[in-house]
Every structure is written in structure tokens, then in C-alpha cells.
Structure 1
Amino acid sequence: MSETLLDVQGLSCPLPVLKANKALRGLPAGARLVVLATDPAAAKDFPAYCAETGHSLDEAGEADGVWRFVIRKKETA
């Protein structure tokens, strides 16, 4: 399974989600995108983004001010 890292630390809303969306478009179905973000809004933005787009939010958590999200691209684009 393919996994790609996207570091958007230091960027503010809406840039983390916009950059994740762009990165996911270039990935094959089922691939995982690991996003590192420091914007506190990301805690709500990424779950909402996944719910709206159909991608799966496999993991979400925060440590030392850095949010880590693992998004699996939906099987059908």
C-alpha cells in the first residue's frame, strides 16, 4: 500500500485541506496520505473534508501541537 507524507505545519486554514485535496488527486485509489498540521482548525476541517469527499479518515491525533491525520483515498474517484 502506498503512503505519502504531506507536511503543512505552519499553514493556516484553508491551506492544509486545499493542499491535501491536491495531493490526494495525484494518488491512486486506496493510497494513504499522512498529513502533519499545526493549525488548530485542522481538528475539525479534516474530518469534515473526509465526510464530504468520501475519503476515509483512518487516524487522527495530536501530540505536542502537531496534528497527524491519515487519509485513505476512496476507491472510486
Structure 2
Amino acid sequence: MTVHELDARNILCPLPVIRTQDAIAGLAPGDELCVFCTDPGAIQDIPTWCRINGHQVLDIEQDGREIRIRIRVGGDG
């Protein structure tokens, strides 16, 4: 298991989800991706995308404008 980071700060929907999708496509099942973003819509959009695509949201933290979403990559990578 490897932990990766994605900087999706200061971009708006749908780009945080698209960049998350692109990043996960290159990862192995079981890897973790920490997505850092500032778009408040990502709090719902990224977990919805993960649920549909078989990935697990481990936690979501928000500190001011910055949001961190930690994802475990599912079986399809």
C-alpha cells in the first residue's frame, strides 16, 4: 500500500473529481490517495464518485477553505 497526494486546490467542479479519477486510474488496489481541494462541492462529489466506482472514502477533514479527502483505491484501480 502506497499513499499518494493530489493537489486539486483552487479549481472548481468538475475538475477535482476528474483529477481524482485520473489519479486513481494509475494506482493499485489498496493504495491511498489524499486529495487536497478548496471547492466545497468536492465534499459530496468525490465521495459520490468513489461509491459509484468501488473506492472507499476513509475520512474527510476541513480546515477553513482547505478540504482533505482520503480515499482507499478499490479493486478496479
Amino acid at match of 1:21: Q
Q: In the comparison of the two structures, how many residue pairs are matched?
A: 76
> Where does structure 2 lack aligned partners over 5 or more consecutive residues?
none
> Where does structure 1 lack aligned partners over 5 or more consecutive residues?
none
TM-score (norm 1): 0.94
Identify the residue that residue 60 of structure 1 maps to in structure 2.
60
- 2:47 pairs with 1:47: yes
2-structure distance, mates of 1:7, 1:65: 14
Report the 3-state secondary structure (helix = DSSP H, G, I; strand = E; otherwise coil) of the residue aligned with 1:52. helix
TM-score (norm 2): 0.94
Identify the residue that residue 5 of structure 1 maps to in structure 2.
5
Identify the residue that residue 25 of structure 2 maps to in structure 1.
25
Q: CA deviation at 1:31?
A: 0.3
Q: Which runs of 4+ in 1 moved over 2 A?
A: none
Q: CA deviation at 1:50?
A: 1.1
Identify the residue that residue 14 of structure 1 maps to in structure 2.
14
2-structure distance, mates of 1:46, 1:67: 11
2-structure distance, mates of 1:31, 1:14: 23
Q: CA deviation at 1:62?
A: 0.6
Q: Percent identity?
A: 34
